[in-house]
Structure 1
Amino acid sequence: MLGLFLQTLNITLPVFAMLFLGVVLKRVGWIDDGFIRVASALVFNLTMPCLLFLGILHADFRTAFKPGILIYYSLATFVSFALIWWYATWRVPFADRGVYVQGAFRGNNGVVGLALAASMYGAYGISLGAILAGVVIVCYNALSVVVLAVYTPGVKSDPWSIFVNIVRNPLIISVFGAIPFAVYAVTLPGWLEESGQSLARMTLPLALICIGGSLSLAALRESSRTAIDASLMKMVGLPLFGTLGGWAFGFRGADLGILFLYFGAPTASVSYVMVRAAGGNYPLAAAIVVITTVAAAVTTNVGIFLLQWAGLV
């Protein structure tokens, strides 16, 4: 039992160590808001697209392309989004509902989920995780824009605005751009491949440090009951029912493990950026990001431990 628990920590601790290293570096002044802003833009526009592109390019589609997982995760995302929104209409003040719903369903899968999948399952985790990320990014962006627009006037929710937001997303471009290369087994020139790999290797540690540096301990201290409620929904309710649903549909092993890691990822920090840009309740959004990120260090380890103990992953 102890050996299994230590094995679980070996998988997750390197990821969360980078997160909390970011917290420390920010507090001692080695990185600042300017660095985080520029580095986050670099990750979003360049290094993460490289990681996703190469992950799909080198994916073994016979094993990593799983239509069943993609369909299940998409349906589970839409169902959870609808249920959380319905719940919010009864329990959350009108002005905060958009922030609550986005915080409770939108996971940081492009960084934390993918990093954990890579740590736990290696090349297969990156391949399946990158393919799944393409679906996740489309779903999360579209649904977040819709729910924020309903309760926050600063966000446009017309179909054209949503479409433009999606097609201009560098992560989506890299995912769909890589598919023809992978299908037709196109080989990149050696220098280009090595350059891309160097950029891709920067992604996860740099992104995790930036997330850690952007966490606000003040937001954690000032967190409201609404933030705690949304965080429990995201870190307990969603991974529990999402993983149980995946098990009921017959997913096992690495597939079920990656589903759990994606459902159980903390709230995406971009949710805070969207809320602040729209003029919404950004302290609430920040508090949800902080609470879920801190909680993930516990819930992820417990979840993986239980799944391994039960022989499901």
Structure 2
Amino acid sequence: MLAVAAQTLAITAPVFAMLFLGVALKRLRWIDTPFIDTASSLVFRGTMPTLLFLGVVKADLDAAMQPQLLTYFFLATTASFFVAWAWAIWRVPFEDRGIYTQGAFRGNNGIVGLALATSMYGDYGLSVGSLLAALVILCYNALSAVVLAIYSPGAKPGARAIVRSIVSNPMIIGVLLAVPIAYWKIPLPQWFLTSAEYFAQMTLPLALICIGGTLSLASLRRSSGTAIGSGMMKMVWLPLLSTSGAWLLGFRGADLAILFLYFASPTAAASFVMARAVGANHELAAAIIVITTLAAVVTTNIGLLLLQWGGWI
């Protein structure tokens, strides 16, 4: 387990490094609020849709095609969204319900989950993990767009407004453009793919620097209660429920472990980008990302230890 702990720390440490770099750059006044606004908009409208586009285009849809595994992951993710939303309606102030819900169900599968799955199970982990990540991208963005449209300041939560927020979401557009290309294996020019990769590689560092630039002790104190609640939902209760459901349905071995790693991934940086884009409480979104990323070092290893102890993986 020490090896797994080291792997988890190696994956999450660079995330924290970029977060703290954002804090330092803001304190040094190398970046300011207008820069963070512009950079966040660039990530939301450009670099992240490009990253998602490339992720789907490069995914081998024929490899590790397991309908039962994919179906369960999709249904469990959707159920997690509604569990988190129902809890938010009961316990969270109206204006923060969208941020709480998104932070509690939206995992960083493409970075943390996929890296750990590949590290533990090699090519099998990579192929299954890539397929799971590609599947859930649309689910994450569509459900997040819905809940943020309902609770964002000044939003008009009618059916037409919600549909508009979904179909106009740049991340969803990026995925939808990529699906037919991946399905029919349409070749793209190498110069285009290389240029797109250069552009997409800015996504995570730029998003994390913006999150760090937004953080402050005052904002963390203001958001601490709600952020910890969302973090507990994301890192403890929903992974416990979803993984238990997978175990009851008979998933074992690498499949169960990969499902757990994806359910237990910390909140994705995209949640901050989307929150800022719609004028929601992005400070709360940033706090949830920090808390869940820190918690992942502990909860992921405890979960794997328990699964190994039970002889299920």
Question: Residue type of the partner of 2:5?
Answer: F
Offset at residue 30 of structure 1 (A): 3.4
Deviations 1:115-161 (A, max 9, x none): 76677778877776665456545434444455556666722332222
After the TM superposition, which residues 37-186 of structure 1 pair with which residues of structure 2 at under 5 Å, given as runs? Answer: 37-92=37-92, 97-109=97-109, 132-133=132-133, 135-144=135-144, 146-147=146-147, 154-186=154-186
Offset at residue 237 of structure 1 (A): 0.9
Question: Residue type of the partner of 2:163?
Answer: F
Aligned partners of 2:108, 2:298: CA distance in 1, in Å?
A: 16
Partner of 2:191: 191
Question: Residue type of the partner of 1:222?
Answer: R
Question: Residue type of the partner of 1:61?
Answer: L
TM-score by structure 2 length? 0.76
Partner of 1:207: 207
Partner of 1:245: 245
Deviations 1:7-49 (A, max 9, x none): 4433443344333333333333333333333233222222223
Partner of 2:260: 260
TM-score by structure 1 length? 0.76
Deviations 1:245-271 (A, max 9, x none): 234334456654553344334445665
Structure 1 stretch displaced more, 211-220 or 121-130: 121-130
Tell me if the contact between 2:8 and 2:116 (Cα under 8 Å) persists in the aligned partners: no
Aligned partners of 1:99, 1:161: CA distance in 2, in Å?
A: 18
Matched positions, count: 313
Change (3 A) 1:308 1:198: farther
Tell me if the contact between 1:12 and 1:301 (Cα under 8 Å) persists in the aligned partners: no
Partner of 1:235: 235
Change (3 A) 1:44 1:277: closer
Deviations 1:73-107 (A, max 9, x none): 33223322333344445444566555544443344
Aligned partners of 2:294, 2:155: CA distance in 1, in Å?
A: 29
Structure 1 stretch displaced more, 256-265 or 281-290: 281-290
Aligned partners of 1:238, 1:4: CA distance in 2, in Å?
A: 21
Q: Report SS of the residue matched to 2:62.
A: helix
Offset at residue 188 of structure 1 (A): 1.6
Aligned partners of 2:15, 2:172: CA distance in 1, in Å?
A: 24
Partner of 1:291: 291
Tell me if the contact between 1:131 and 1:175 (Cα under 8 Å) persists in the aligned partners: no
Q: Residue 220 in 1 paired to residue 226 in 2? A: no
Question: Residue type of the partner of 1:50?
Answer: T
Q: Report SS of the residue matched to 1:259.
A: helix
Identity among equivalent positions (%) equals 62
CA RMSD of aligned residues (A): 3.9
Q: Report SS of the residue matched to 2:155.
A: coil
Aligned partners of 1:150, 1:116: CA distance in 2, in Å?
A: 34
Where does the alignment leave 5 or more consecutive residues of structure 1 unmatched? none
Aligned partners of 1:266, 1:4: CA distance in 2, in Å?
A: 16
Deviations 1:261-302 (A, max 9, x none): 443344456656766787877765555444334434443454
Change (3 A) 1:142 1:173: closer
Q: Report SS of the residue matched to 2:83.
A: helix
